[in-house]
Amino acid sequence: VRTPERRVAVFGAGYIGLVTGACFAELGHHVVVRDIDPEKVALLRSGEVPIYEPGLGDMIARNKERLTFTLDLEETLDGAEIAYVCVDTPPSASGDADLSRLWSVVRSLEGATRLKAVVVKSTVPVGTGARVRAALDEAGLSHVGYAANPEFTAEGRAVEDFLHPDRVVIGAADDATARLIEELHAGVDGPVVVMDVRSAEMVKLASNALLATKISFINEIATLCEKTGADVEEVAKAVGLDHRLGPHFLRPGIGWGGSCFPKDSEALRQLASNTGYHLQLLSAVIEVNNLQKRRAIQKLQDELGTLTGKRVALLGLTFKPGTDDMREAPSTVLAARLLAEGAEVRCWDPMARPPAAEPWSSTTRHETPELAVEGADAAIVVTEWPQLREADWAHAAAVMRRPVLFDGRNLLDPAAMRALGFTYMSVGRP
Ligand code: UGA
C-alpha cells in the first residue's frame, strides 16, 4: 500500500531543518521550509545551501518541485498537514535550553486549524511537549496532535543517518498522531519506536550524554595510560570488541565539542538540578572534557617552558572533520588559552568559517598546514582532517622553529614522526 504524500511545514532552515525538509521531500512529501533569516532564504531560493552537509545540495536540487523555502508564514502553513519545529534551542546563561525560538513558532501556529499534527524535532528539556500541548489547546488547536520526534543524525553524515537511522523515535500521546508520523517516515530504513512524549524527549538527552560519557571515559583511561605506559589505542580496540561495550565513541582525543554534546549535557545536568537531583556522573563527564583541553596546553607548557612569545599552530579548527561547524569547537578554547598565555596563534583548516570575533580575530589563517607551522615553536593537531595525514611533515619539521608536535587526535604514527625529528606527543600513547 502506498502511503499518502503529506504536506509538511518545516520551521527552521538550520542543519536539522534543512536535512529534515530535504529528506521528507526525497521521500515524496511536499515540504515548505520557513526561516526568519532573509539572507538564508534568499540563498536557498537561488539554489545554494548555506551549510556543508554531504549529499544535501544534490538532494535539495533534485527535489525542487516538492521543496520550497520562504520567509512567509501564510505560505508555509497554506495546506500544511504537519508542522515540524526544527529551530535551535541554544543554551541560555543559566545552562537551561533557550526555547524562545520554539515558542515563537508555536505562537505563530495560532489559527492553523487545518493542521493534523505539530512535531518538535528540536532538542528540548523533558516536559516541553506537555507545555506545547497546553499552548496548542489554549490557541484553539486541541484537535491537532502533538509528537516529539528527536533527531539522532550526526553532522557530516546527516542525510545518510536520516534515511538509514538506527531508530526513529516518536513520542505521542495518541495512536493516530503516532501513526501519522510513522507513515511520514515510510521509506526510511530503520526501526520505529513509539513511546510517550516525555520518554522520547529523554531518549535524546540520554543518548547524547551516554555517547559523551564513553568519550570522557576513554579520555581518562588515556591519561592513565600515559602515567602507566599502556597504549590507549590498543586498550580501546580490545575493550570495544566486547559487544556489550561496542567499538564506537572510544576514540580518545582533545575532548568532545560541537553543537550538541556540550549543550545537551549541560541541559540534562540543569534539567536534573531543576528537579532537585544532582547528576554526579554527568558532571564528572563534563569536567573531564574541560580538563582534556587544559591538559593539551599543559603538555606544550611542559615542553616549551613558557608559552609567552611562542608561536603555536593549530591544525584543524572545526569540532570534527567533514563539517564547517565551529560551534563549541575545542580549537576555540585552545586559541583563547594560548593567547591569554601570550602566545602567537596561527591556524589552518580546509573548511572552517571561524567567527570574526575573539579569539579568532587575533590569529592568522594559512592556506596549508605547512604554511601554518612555519617558524612555529609548536603545532597541535586539533581536528583529524585526512589532509593532515597527507601533509608534508618532513617539510614541516624543517620549517618549524622547534619541531614540537602535540597530536590531539592520535592521527599520526609516533615512530614516523619521531624519525622526522619531531618531539611528538599524543593522547594516551607511549
Ligand atoms: C552528535 C551525535 O553523535 C548525534 O547522534 C546527535 O544527533 C547529534 O550530536 C545531535 O545531538 O544533534 P555530532 O555533534 O554531529 O553528533 O558529532 P559526533 O560525531 O557525535 O562528535 C561529537 C564530538 O565528539 C566531536 O567533537 C568528536 O570529535 C568527538 N568524538 C567523537 C571523540 O572525541 N571521540 C569519539 O570516539 C567520537
21 C-alpha to center of ligand 1: Å?
22
pLDDT tens-digit series, residues 286-305: 999 999 999 999 999 999 99
Protein residue with its CA nearest to atom 27 in ligand 1 = 256
Residues in the chain, how many? Answer: 430
User: Under a CB-based contact definition with an 8 Å cutoff, are residues 342 and 305 in contact?
Assistant: no
Q: Are 76 and 38 in contact (CB under 8 A)?
A: no
CB–CB of 330/350 below 8 Å? no
State the cell numbers at 324.
564547517
Residue 2 pLDDT class (50, 70, 90 cuts): low
Instruction: List, for residues 154-197, the tens digit of each pLDDT value.
Output: 999 999 999 999 999 999 999 999 999 999 999 999 999 999 99
Mean pLDDT of 21-45: 98
Which atom of ligand 1 has the smallest separation from the CA of 383?
Answer: 28
Q: What is the pLDDT of residue 92?
A: 87
- Judge whether 366 and 295 are in contact, CB under 8 Å: no
Q: Which three cell numbers stand for residue 288?
A: 573531564
Q: How far apart are CA 283 and CA 424, in angstroms?
A: 32
Which residue among 86, 155, 232 is best mutated to probe the pocket of ligand 1, counting the most ligand atoms within 8 A of its Cβ? 155
Residue 354 has pLDDT above 90, yes or no: no
- Mapped onto helix, strand or coil, the DSSP state of residue 426 is coil
Cβ contact 323:341 at 8 Å: no
- Residues 335-358 have a mean pLDDT of 95
152 is in an annotated binding site: yes
Which pLDDT score is estimated for 392? 98
175: Cβ contacts below 8 Å, ≥ 6 apart: none
Distance from Cα 226 to the centre of ligand 1, integer Å? 24
- Report, as residue numbers or ranges, the catalytic residues: 260
DSSP assigned state of 231: -
Q: Give the distance (Å) from ligand 1 centre to CA of residue 211.
A: 8
On whether 252 is known to bind a ligand per the annotation, the reply is: yes
Ligand 1 site, CB within 6 A:
151-155, 208, 211, 215, 249-251, 253, 256-258, 260-261, 264, 319-320
What pLDDT score was predicted for residue 94? Answer: 83
123 is in an annotated binding site: yes
Taking CA atoms only, the protein residue closest to ligand 1 atom 12 is: 260
The percent of residues in the chain predicted with pLDDT above 90, rounded, is 94
Cα–chain center distance at 249 = 14
* Alpha carbon distance 76, 68 (integer Å): 9
Whether the CB-CB separation of 384 and 323 falls below 8 Å is answered with no
What structural domains and CATH numbers belong to the chain?
7-203 (3.40.50.720), 261-425 (3.40.50.720)
Q: Is 116 part of any known ligand binding site?
A: no
- Tens-place pLDDT, residues 202-219: 999 999 999 999 999 999
Check residue 91 and give its pLDDT. 85
Residues above pLDDT 70, as percent of the chain: 100
**Distance between CA atoms of 382 and 321, rounded to whole angstroms?**
10
Q: How far is the CA of 261 from the centre of ligand 1 (A)?
A: 7
Which tens digits make up the pLDDT trace of 369-414? Answer: 999 999 999 999 999 999 999 999 999 999 999 999 999 999 999 9
| Stretch (H or E) spanning 312 | strand 311-315
Distance CA 258, CA 316 (A): 14
Q: Tell me the pLDDT band of 96, cut-offs 50, 70 and 90.
A: confident
Query: CB burial class (10 A; 0-12, 13-18, 19+) of residue 155?
Result: buried
Say whether 128 counts as a known binding-site residue.
no
The whole-chain average pLDDT of the chain stands at 96
Ligand 1 atom 13, closest CA: 154
pLDDT of 256 over the 90 cut:
yes
From the CA of 55, how far away is ligand 1's center (Å)?
A: 19
pLDDT exceeds 60 at position 1: no
Confidence of residue 247 (pLDDT cuts 50, 70, 90): very high
